[in-house]
Amino acid sequence: MNMNIGLSDILLVSPMIALFLASLVPITAKVLRGNREQNPIITLCQALGGIVVAVGLLVVFGGAGKTAFNNGLIFDGVTQWMGVIALLSAGAAMIMMYENPATKGRQFSELIFLAMSSAVGMLILVSAVDLLMVFIGLEMMSLALYLMIAMSHEEKLSKEAALKYFILGSFASALFLYGVAFIFGTTGNTNILSFMENAADLIQTSRLFLFGMVFVVLGFCFKVSIAPFHAWTPDVYQGAPTPHTAFMATAVKTVSFAAFLRVIATRSLVGSEHLFDMLQWLAVITMIVGNTAAILQNNLKRMLAYSSIAHSGYILVGVITAGVSDDAAFGASGVIFYLLSYGLMTLGAFAIASMLEKSENHIVDVDDLAGLAKQRPMIALCLTVFLLSLTGIPPTLGFFGKFYLFNAAIGEGLMWLAIWGMISSVISVYYYLRPIVVMYMKEGQADVAEHSLNATTVTVVVMAIAILFLGFVSGPLFTAVEKSLL
């Protein structure tokens, strides 16, 4: 295989390069200062600067389905949208890291370096069309995350979380790689683009290819916490410091779904009825398991973790739709739109959970929210917006996200998936309403760490306004997403 690397390849990957260079700045500065931390706000600004530049480069140079590095990476609408969503989520998570007691101050440069490295992995993952590239992206993203969780100062839970995440994450990677090996064995190639055209035939004729596909899919199911491969999620989400959890629940999920979408969009689902059925059942089980288990949770983060499992189920419906639709952009744009809305509302909810944490080992229960509406009405209102949006109540963005997603599913004839989605949304009302009930209707003294206006507050308010506002312009936004995929 001969590979010519030209200027266009470099330009296309420039967001990754920019991000990587920006990630080096804080630790370099620390080393040059004789291993003394620089002011964390400067570190944060360097990181956010890197993200802004990367987003800009991604928007300017990406798009139009250009490929780089011998078809290893592709830069199309999916890359752009998912990349931007992931980077912005990462940025918001870093703002939270700056202010959360568990991640504040100590070793902040290293933390930011790891988060940025993880983001570089994410960018590789969203653009990868070669299964080995996907693997590299996945590992780069995950390894940095394992470290991030492990280096947090919380006593026990985070170490346990890191270990669990590491073991199960490695297991998922192994499954994935195993599948890739089978695919390579049958096609002699690991590039999705090369077998995209005949994947439907291959899967019918070749058992080994089907085998490989199933393992690749299962690997992704682990990563995006599809039930019954979700068991690690609640523990890890609860154990990790809240900003990290926000990072995992939004950015990591977004990019993992991007890669998942690329694999499914090979129309292999059309080829194999069994794989199609299996994924549909997984989606249904995930929606039900996530939503019913969340009802039982009293810990706010754990509840949000289960809710994020449920949302994976919804998104999987969109992924399946994209896989069987003649017009792949149709389902995929639903997925991207949903991820956009999901990112905003989940980040917002976690940001508020983060604000409520006074000390490193403080566990926020739903009951701790009592009286929040009286003490900090603005924050309570924002959390209400996020929760109503997560439930899918109009006119919030979450409603439109679900609307586009299930609209595509119904248009593709997957009526029963849409109905299951709706039924599980009804179940979700129960636990999403609980914090609202507690905040507004129960007396108490909510423990809010700081009363001054800080960056997290600003982020939260901005997100709440975005959720209310973007709903009204969701039409043009959806069309923009869809057009970019064609």
- Stretch of 50-58, 81-89, 204-212, 411-419 lying at the interface with other proteins (CB under 8 A): 411-419
Residue type (1 letter), 40: P
Asked if 281 touches other proteins (CB under 8 A), the answer is no
Least distance (Å) between residue 92 CB and other proteins: 26
How many whole angstroms separate alpha carbon 18 and alpha carbon 16?
A: 5
Instruction: Please say which residue, 357 or 482, places its beta carbon nearer to other proteins.
Output: 482
Q: Which of 288, 440, 444, 462 binds other proteins (CB under 8 A)?
A: 440
Give the residue with the Cβ less far from other proteins, 141 or 388.
388
Rounded least distance, CB 433 to other proteins, Å: 6
135 is an interface residue for other proteins by CB under 8 A? no
Q: Does 393 bind other proteins (CB under 8 A)?
A: yes
How wide is the angle at C-alpha 473 spanned by C-alphas 469 and 477, nearest 5°? 120
* Residues in CB range of 272: below 8 A, 6 or more apart: 203, 204, 210, 213
Give least dist CB 12 to other proteins, A. 29
Peptide bond into 395 cis (omega under 30): yes
For position 394 contacting other proteins by CB under 8 A, the verdict is: yes
Is the Cβ of residue 109 or residue 424 nearer to other proteins in the bound state?
424
Q: Which two tokens stand for residue 250?
A: 């939004």
Which residue stretch of 56-64, 182-190, 202-210, 412-420 sits at the interface with other proteins (rule: CB under 8 A)?
412-420
* CB 64 to other proteins: min, Å: 21
Write out the two tokens for 28. 């370099």
Is position 437 an interface residue for other proteins (rule: CB under 8 A)? yes
Q: Does 411 bind other proteins (CB under 8 A)?
A: yes
Structure tokens, 226: 């599809």
430 binds other proteins (CB under 8 A): yes
Helix extents (H) in 33-156? 40-61, 77-99, 108-127, 131-150
Question: Which residue from 251, 478, 484, 485 is in contact with other proteins, where contact means CB under 8 A?
Answer: 478
Q: Which CB sits closer to other proteins, 63 or 411?
A: 411
d(CA 134, CA 128): 5
**Binding of other proteins by 444 (CB under 8 A):** no
Q: Which stretch binds other proteins (CB under 8 A): 10-18, 209-217, 285-293, 477-485?
A: 477-485
Distant-in-sequence, close-in-space partners of 455: CB < 8 Å, separation ≥ 6: 95, 98, 99
3-state DSSP: the chain helix, strand, coil percent, rounded to 5? 75, 0, 20
By CB under 8 A, residue 410 contacts other proteins: yes
* Binding of residue 425 to other proteins (CB under 8 A): yes
The count of residues interacting with other proteins (CB under 8 A) is: 28
Of residues 165 and 406, the one with the C-beta less far from other proteins:
406
Nearer to other proteins, 8 or 479 (CB): 479
Helix axes 397-411, 415-441, angle to 10 degrees: 170
Asked if 134 and 169 touch (Cβ cutoff 8 Å), the reply is no
DSSP per position, 120-160: HHHHHHHHB-BHHHHHHHHHHHHHHHHHHHHTS--SSHHHH
CA distance 348 to 341: 11
Structure tokens at 373: 């509406």
Q: Does 298 bind other proteins (CB under 8 A)?
A: no
Least separation, in Å, of the C-beta of 398 and other proteins?
12
Strand partners, 365: 299
User: Taking CB under 8 A as the rule, does residue 280 contact other proteins?
Assistant: no
Give me the residues that bind other proteins (CB under 8 A), please.
388, 393-395, 399, 403, 406-407, 410-411, 415, 418-419, 422-423, 425-426, 429-430, 433, 437, 440-441, 474-475, 478-479, 482
